[in-house]
Amino acid sequence: MKRKVNPGEKSMEALQPVEYSARATYTIEAISNLAQVPRRLIVLYYKHGLVVPTAESLGSGWYFDDQAIHVVKRIEYLRTECGVNLEGIKLIMGLMKEVERLREELRFFQRQ
């Protein structure tokens, strides 16, 4: 029997930490399709420093990694589901990075 999923529960997946592949790269169009976010919003997020391309090729556009897909999905969740503006998202994303860094540090000290 399948468990019924709350609409908000599925969206919360966007906030969970994810393991990334360093090998895959995607064009901005591919990221737009994979994250289901218009290209213009990805450009806006880039301009606000929320998402960063892994490489930029002269004349052929930006390239993003797997992490960018999750970042864009996380931004969209915070913006659309939670009603957070871009400055608030920037603050939240910075705090989430700091929490993950502290978790890694804690794991390091627990192994010793």
pLDDT in tens, 34-62: 999 999 999 999 999 999 998 766 667 88
The pLDDT value recorded for residue 61 is 83
Neighbours of 74 (CB within 10 A): 22
CA distance 4 to 49: 37
**DSSP labels, 31-61:** HHHHHT--HHHHHHHHHTTSS--SEEETTTE
The pLDDT value recorded for residue 104 is 96
8, containing H or E segment:
helix 7-12
Q: In this structure, what DSSP letter does residue 80 have?
A: I
The pLDDT value recorded for residue 7 is 56
What structural domains and CATH numbers belong to the chain?
7-111 (1.10.1660.10)
pLDDT tens for residues 63-107?
Answer: 999 999 999 999 999 999 999 999 999 999 999 999 999 999 999
Chain length of the chain:
112
How do strand 61-64 and strand 55-57 relate by DSSP bridges?
antiparallel
Neighbours of 50 (CB within 10 A): 18
